[in-house]
Structure 1
């Protein structure tokens, strides 16, 4: 279980978040600028909170009291950025395997499994500028899961897609979470998407959870 209890002073308000995530999908829902992405970045270790703690399965990522700060690369947290952040000079295989330290049989088996699960085997040699939005999303998801994370953070991963593709990939995300059995924390400002994807939905306003949506 991931437990988050943090405070971070921002220009317009103080982020003050307390929630926990088991092996399901939790959606952070609310208007732009309410602190959703900042919360993800604190969990990933890209931003340091001012106070509180972040603990995953008894492993402390951050504790102000204990002065503990685990660097991002040691947190086993996958992060899917809103614009996917794929490398245009690399093909799909190279993008998915980017950052994999040991290219052994185990890594190759996981790579092939992800290609099959996400139905992108035929794209392995294609460069990312030749992919559709839905294909890019699947490649970005495969790359994030290739690192075998214990938590996956998704920052508005479907916002740039058309409605039909979004509907299809909402089902894909739920299926992959059910297979991987790790916490998915997803950010959106779309109420329909929040209802569809979230096992639990936290409505955020000005850095605070105001209700379960």
Structure 2
């Protein structure tokens, strides 16, 4: 039981190649704008047709290019929350919720009344979408989606049009819906924090290719690819050359790095998250350390963000010179930065925190 997707579709800028299986869990597809997230959902929903492949929901074949099966969207029993909600502007709230329900007139009325109450829409039954706030429109769209009792829920960046407070409120509602209805849920977003809070599994998509799907903790701790690290919030990267199985030379930071994990020949970058970098009190030069000049200090809400550049002493024509290179971002609790702040800092990149990236 669940969803099986293995499809290909040639797009204008890239070729969509997506393959995954999921059960009754929440799978988020994390990717930048234009990476193929929404197109994947549209292919599953039947709004777009893949060039080849197969889509199966529970025991129902939705699409199979070899068998020439391609069910219409209304035959697929999929709940799809569009990014812009796709409410009918000429219909009232209750009419929008009732649209598409296959039931008797009385059953429709009862079901709509239940959803009006469940989603706190009392008093708005006769209003049109233009008379509703963004949050109210979204609740109507969710109520319409749930009323049809879909086999799977698909959410296409549902919070992108909302302000920060309303985003949080609606996120909690979505989590409650997922918990209450216990449906397989596909969620697409470019927001790593929302994805982490909502998901069981996360897949990273780039230029139409879904590179891998894994447990959310695993993908944040070991994103495996450069684009995966970027999308999960890593800010610091360097190109590398492999020295031996556990050592690389970091071109952009001009230091050797000892790694905890063995370095395969496919590794092209090393990354490290801003909050994993240590500031140390040491004058010794060694692997995994770097003397830096502080270039900018940014007072964040609960932390301090420090932008630094590597500092190297060199000699040219008998004259000592210093040069800067390789900007790095670190982030620390405010009280910790107060203890170590200065014009220069010594950084240490602990082997356990280094991300080895293809």
Q: TM-score range by the shorter chain?
A: over 0.9
1:88 aligns with 89
CA contact (8 A) 1:96 1:142 kept: yes
Give runs of aligned pairs for residues 147-162 of structure 1, distance below 5 A: 147-162=148-163
Q: Does 1:108 align with 2:109?
A: yes
Q: Does 1:209 align with 2:215?
A: no
**Whole-angstrom CA distance in 2 between matches of 1:179 and 1:201:** 21
Q: Which has the higher helix share?
A: 1
TM-score normalized by structure 1? 0.93
Runs of 4+ in 1 over 3 A off after TM superposition: 103-106
1:124 aligns with 125
**Whole-angstrom CA distance in 2 between matches of 1:210 and 1:85:** 30
Q: Does 1:144 align with 2:151?
A: no
**Whole-angstrom CA distance in 1 between matches of 2:192 and 2:36:** 17
Q: Secondary structure at the match of 2:146?
A: helix
1:199 aligns with 200
Q: Which has the higher strand share?
A: 2
TM-score normalized by structure 2? 0.57
2:324 aligns with none
**Whole-angstrom CA distance in 1 between matches of 2:109 and 2:179:** 22
**What is the root-mean-square deviation in Å for CA atoms of aligned residues?**
1.5
Q: Secondary structure at the match of 2:18?
A: strand
Q: CA deviation at 1:115?
A: 1.8
1:44 aligns with 45
Q: Give CA deviations for 1:47-77 in whole Å, capped at 9, x if unaligned.
A: 1111210001121111122221112111111
For structure 2, the 5+ residue unaligned runs are 220-358
2:189 aligns with 188
**Whole-angstrom CA distance in 2 between matches of 1:52 and 1:95:** 33
Higher deviation after alignment, 99-108 or 29-38: 99-108
CA contact (8 A) 1:51 1:64 kept: yes
CA contact (8 A) 1:170 1:196 kept: no
**Whole-angstrom CA distance in 1 between matches of 2:119 and 2:136:** 9
For structure 1, the 5+ residue unaligned runs are none
Q: CA deviation at 1:185?
A: 1.1
Give the structure with higher Rg (CA): 2
CA contact (8 A) 1:152 1:185 kept: yes
**Whole-angstrom CA distance in 2 between matches of 1:97 and 1:205:** 37
Q: Which has the higher contact order (CA 8 A, sep 6+)?
A: 1
**Whole-angstrom CA distance in 2 between matches of 1:47 and 1:59:** 18
Q: CA deviation at 1:149?
A: 1.3
**Whole-angstrom CA distance in 1 between matches of 2:104 and 2:29:** 35
2:331 aligns with none
Q: Secondary structure at the match of 2:44?
A: helix
Q: Give CA deviations for 1:34-58 in whole Å, capped at 9, x if unaligned.
A: 1111100110111111121000112
**Whole-angstrom CA distance in 1 between matches of 2:91 and 2:67:** 42
**Whole-angstrom CA distance in 2 between matches of 1:115 and 1:26:** 28
